[in-house]
Structures are given as C-alpha cells and as structure tokens.
Amino acid sequence: MPSGPHHPTEAARLVVLVSGSGTNLQALLDAAAAPSFGAAIVAVGADRDGIEGLARAERAGIPVFVERVGDHATRDEWDEALAGKIAAYKPDLVVSAGFMKILGRRVLGSFPVVNTHPALLPSFPGAHAVRDALAYGVRVTGCTVHLVDAGVDTGPVIAQEAVAVRDGDDEDTLHERIKTVERRLLVEIVGRMAREGWTVSGRRVRLGRA
C-alpha cells in the first residue's frame, strides 16, 4: 500500500470517488475552498451516471469521470480502467466517500485510498452497516475513517467516532446522524493527511511527518 505525501509543500491533489448523494464530497468541497485546508479536489469519479455526487462536482466546476463495472468483461478490466482514469489526475490521495464498489489491486497498488464507513469497524463491514447495526440492537455505533486494503472495510483504522442509537431510530434517522459526524471527521482527517502526511506500520496509521 503506497504511503502518503510525507512532506507536502503545495496543496495535495485529491480524487474523490462517489456512488450516491455525495454529501461527504460536498463537505470536502466546502473545506477545500479555504487554501488553509491544504488539499484541492482535482476530480470526482463514480461507478454510475446520474447521481447527485457528480452534479455537486459539476456545480463546483470540477472534472468528473464515470467507470461502470458493467462496461467491462471482468472486474480486473474495470479496475484497470478506473486506475487509468484516476491516474490521469495525478492524485496524492484518493478519497472513497460513499463509493459502493470494492476497489481492485491495480487501483490499490497505484494510490493511497482512504474510506469513510458508517460503523465502528470491525463491526458491521459491508454495504449495509447502518441496517446491520440497527438489526443487531447495538446501543452505540459510529463511523470509521480507514485506509483501504484489498478486503471489505478491513484496512488500517485512522479515526473513529461513536454515535448513540436512539429509541425509535430507523435506518434513515440513524444514518443521517452518523453522516453528520462522518462529514466532520472525514474533512478533519483528509485535511491532516494532506497537510501533515502519514505513515503506516502494520495496522497502525500515524498522522504527521515520517
């Protein structure tokens, strides 16, 4: 797994991957408007067309690209095509913000990728984390920002924050409360990775200079 820009001088280049509403992307767009954030979103990619996340990027005047799994004979070919689209923008860091596909080894071997997940990993990995936490009956869940490895939400944890489950919560109310925390945490961590760099040793990620 490539490590990050240890001693960035100019703004770090971010490519953000989305699959849906893109409110985490919007939080990053809003933060990146301030030069002090230390990162610029240079492109937004998606696995599908017609989503609000792409519209948000277009409104911000940021280049977008779409790479559909279904357009390729195999996942590996999709992975390779996606890696090529991302590479064109020369990112220092790729941010998966509600991107709903498992990234392959070509992408993961080419760029550091950070993901936000709406549960306290290793609890409730996968595409239905909020629903699974509710069904299990946990009293506390939350969100996790982690580096992406080849597994499903198994990469080294960078930051987590707890969110209480309330009586009467359904998937939407709980997910929205988690997303409020998620957006703040993702902006904080991505900004620090961009400005301070990071190092990985085993499953431990340290922010700051090597």
Print the binding letters for residues 97-136 with ligand GRF: x by CB under 6 A, - otherwise.
xx-----------------xxx------------------
CB 154 within 8 A of CB 136: no
Selected range binding ligand GRF among 21-29, 42-50, 82-90, 165-173, rule: CB under 6 A: 21-29
Give the footprint of ligand GRF on residues 50-69 (CB under 6 A). 53
Token pair in block for residue 173: 């109310």
What DSSP element (H or E) covers 53? helix 52-59
Task: Please enumerate, by residue number, every residue annotated as part of a binding site for (6R)-10-formyltetrahydrofolate.
Answer: 75, 100-103, 115
Say how far apart CA 177 and CA 165 lie, in whole Å: 9
Return the structure tokens found at 131.
Answer: 């629903």
Cα-flanking dihedrals φ and ψ of residue 136, to 5°?
-70, -30
Check: CB of residue 116 under 8 Å from CB of residue 27: no
| Binding range to ligand GRF, per CB under 6 A, among 16-24, 71-79, 83-91, 146-154 | 16-24
**Under rule CB under 6 A, residue 179 binds ligand GRF:** yes
How many Cα atoms within 13 Å fall on the side-chain side of residue 97? 31
**From residue 28, how far is each of 45, 88, 132, 148, 192 by CA, in Å?**
14, 21, 27, 18, 13
Binding residue for ligand GRF, selected from 5, 8, 16, 23, defined by CB under 6 A: 23
The catalytic position among 7, 117, 128, 175 is: 117
Residues of the binding site: 22-24, 75, 100-103, 115
CB 134 within 8 A of CB 169: yes
Tokens (6 digits) for 195: 């400005």
Q: Is 146 in the site for ligand GRF (CB under 6 A)?
A: no
Q: Is 7 a catalytic residue?
A: no
# chain residues binding ligand GRF, by CB under 6 A: 15
Gap between the Cα atoms of 38 and 60, Å rounded: 18
**Under the criterion CB under 6 A, does residue 177 sit at the interface with ligand GRF?**
no
Toward ligand GRF, which CB reaches closer, 20 or 156? 20
Active site residues: 117
Q: Which positions touch ligand GRF (CB under 6 A)?
A: 18, 20-25, 53, 97-98, 116-118, 179, 182
